Structure 1
Amino acid sequence: MIRITVLLLFSLLTHTLSAQQKNGLKVINSLKVYKNTCARDPNQELIELRKMIPDLVLDIRYATANNFMKQVMYPQARAFARKPVAEQLKKVQAELRKKGYGLKIYDAYRPYAITVSFYKKAADKSFVANPAKGSKHNRGCAVDLTLIDFKTRKEVPMPTPYDSFAPEAAAAYRKLPPAVLRNRDFLIRTMQAHGFKVIKNEWWHYDFIGWQNYALMDIPFKSL
């Protein structure tokens, strides 16, 4: 009986490991592997956004306690994205600048370990990425942002604050003041014209089209 039980447990363990191997995620956490990947394909590089776009405004909420987690999650207030993502954001900023606006970045590349922490600690799992799938943020292919007045650096009115769980945060929510609708829809159109797609429940979150070509990453900011 004991032998049969052991065999059954071994079979179950083997099946679980096999399933994890089959459905498991490839997460790059080696700086050497990352640098080798960039050497082969420069588009894989994680670019610091302020270095490519000096007049970009940063408000990296997860480097503060002013976020839905109510705690500091990032050791540094920095924003990175893959090279093609950064290049498109530079084009967005140039277009907005001509119209008196600019971008404020709340979040961009997010190390995979932070996504794991979010999922463990978040009370509402529907608003955080499942580590079993990973996040586009982990790929350096998602950015959270809003519009600002370029001269005053003040945010223009939007449906909700950043990281709101309210229904008004949905990208298609319509019961809003006309000026707020214009601002949100203008941002969505501008981002879409440069290769980004807004996600349905967060007006501020944009995924780069082509994110599938980039691996999940777990390289900390200080190493980049």
Structure 2
Amino acid sequence: MTCLSVAVRGLVTAFAALLAVASASATARATPEPKAPEDFVALRSVDRTILQEIRYFTPHNFVGERIDGYRQPLCILTRPAAEALHKAQTKLLRKGYTLKVYDCYRPQRAVDHFVRWAKDLDDRRMQTEFYPQVDKTRLFADGYIAAKSGHSRGSTMDLTIVRLPAGPTRPYVPGEPLVPCYAPKSERFPDNSVDMGTGFDCFDTLAHTDDPRIVGEQRADRQLLKGTLEGLGFVNLAEEWWHYTYKPEPYPDTYFDFPVSMNSLTSHH
């Protein structure tokens, strides 16, 4: 075989390999994203009055960057959970309050992002606000981070209440000085919600719903949220005053991974 034909054959092989790589990446791009089942809805299609401040779409969270899978600042829930939340909102509006959701359905890829972050012990950029007293090596052991989240099943949400009329909440500017999430409300990052004693996603025992150190108006507001939701089938996670799951869950054992986006919903309302 001549040197030329060897060279040609080598080129052909290399070209074929390139083609294979190109078609593989095209296939990867063409792989359709998972979609939500029919009975998942955008909360705003069920209740337009509930405020939405989807924190994981923004860099203002314990990681410090937008979280994987959050394509739009959108609350998606199973329909029964969304309808129960609408009933809670109706009760609160009569008392001069509105609900505000921080997070609803959360894709598995977002939970995976949290896990990767928790293992990176050098990344402590948001520690001063969100976990000032917790050593990052303890986040799994202390239950603040886990490989699975009830949010991925579609009937769990993180929320608070806001006194009407609701003022705006300014956006967080990455790099701005951080204040502990359990500091007095006047000192911590501004939030138009009532004072629950800690900010959202505060990795601290003060965030436990019934912590005895939370008294007065802060306790009353936590109880207002809890009492309203529990009467409609929601169950609170005792360690987080903001975390509620609607029961019975339509998908008690399924952890979904479709992105948080209107495109994920089969029926666009």
* TM-score past 0.5 threshold: yes
Aligned 8 A contact 2:71 2:259 in 1: no
Identify the residue that residue 96 of structure 1 maps to in structure 2. Answer: 92
Query: Is residue 151 from structure 1 mapped to residue 190 from structure 2 by the alignment?
Result: no
Indicate the percent of aligned positions where both proteins have the same amino acid.
Answer: 31
Which structure 2 residues correspond to residues 81-120 of structure 1 after superposition, within 5 A? 81-120=77-116
Identify the residue that residue 16 of structure 1 maps to in structure 2. Answer: none
1:104 alignment partner, SS class: strand
Cα deviation 1:151-195 (Å, max 9, x = unaligned): 234311102000001211001102123110100111111111111
Cα deviation 1:118-171 (Å, max 9, x = unaligned): 1121242221232xxx32100101000001012234311102000001211001
Ranked by relative contact order (alpha carbons within 8 Å, sequence separation 6 or more), the top structure is: 2
Identify the residue that residue 60 of structure 2 maps to in structure 1. Answer: 66
Which structure 2 residues correspond to residues 7-86 of structure 1 after superposition, within 5 A? 30-31=34-35, 34-35=36-37, 38=38, 45-73=39-67, 74-86=70-82
1:202 alignment partner, SS class: coil
Query: Is residue 203 from structure 1 mapped to residue 241 from structure 2 by the alignment?
Result: yes
Mean Cα deviation higher: 100-109 or 166-175: 166-175
CA distance in 2, matches of 1:149, 1:51: 23
Aligned 8 A contact 2:197 2:214 in 1: yes
CA distance in 1, matches of 2:245, 2:207: 16
Identify the residue that residue 191 of structure 1 maps to in structure 2. Answer: 229
CA distance in 2, matches of 1:163, 1:221: 19
Q: Which has the larger radius of gyration?
A: 2
Query: Is residue 139 from structure 1 mapped to residue 139 from structure 2 by the alignment?
Result: no
Mean Cα deviation higher: 212-221 or 198-207: 212-221
CA distance in 2, matches of 1:55, 1:152: 11
CA distance in 2, matches of 1:150, 1:92: 15
Structure (1 or 2) with the greater helix fraction: 1
Aligned 8 A contact 1:101 1:148 in 2: yes
Where has structure 1 moved over 3 Å in runs of 4 or more? Answer: none
Deviation at 1:210, TM superposition (A): 1.7
Kindly tell me the number of residue pairs found equivalent between the two proteins. Answer: 183
Cα deviation 1:23-62 (Å, max 9, x = unaligned): xxxxxx743xx55xx3xxxxxx111011211111111100
Deviation at 1:75, TM superposition (A): 2.6
Aligned 8 A contact 1:82 1:141 in 2: yes
Aligned 8 A contact 1:105 1:146 in 2: yes
1:218 to 230, 233, 257: 257
2:145 to 115, 128, 141: 128
CA RMSD of aligned residues (A): 1.6
Cα deviation 1:64-92 (Å, max 9, x = unaligned): 11001111112311110000000000000
Cα deviation 1:3-42 (Å, max 9, x = unaligned): xxxxxxxxxxxxxxxxxxxxxxxxxx743xx55xx3xxxx
Deviation at 1:220, TM superposition (A): 1.0
**How high is the TM-score relative to the length of structure 1?**
0.77
Deviation at 1:109, TM superposition (A): 0.2
Deviation at 1:212, TM superposition (A): 6.4
- Unpaired stretches in structure 1, ≥5 consecutive residues: 1-28, 39-44
Structure (1 or 2) with the greater strand fraction: 1
Mean Cα deviation higher: 146-155 or 181-190: 146-155
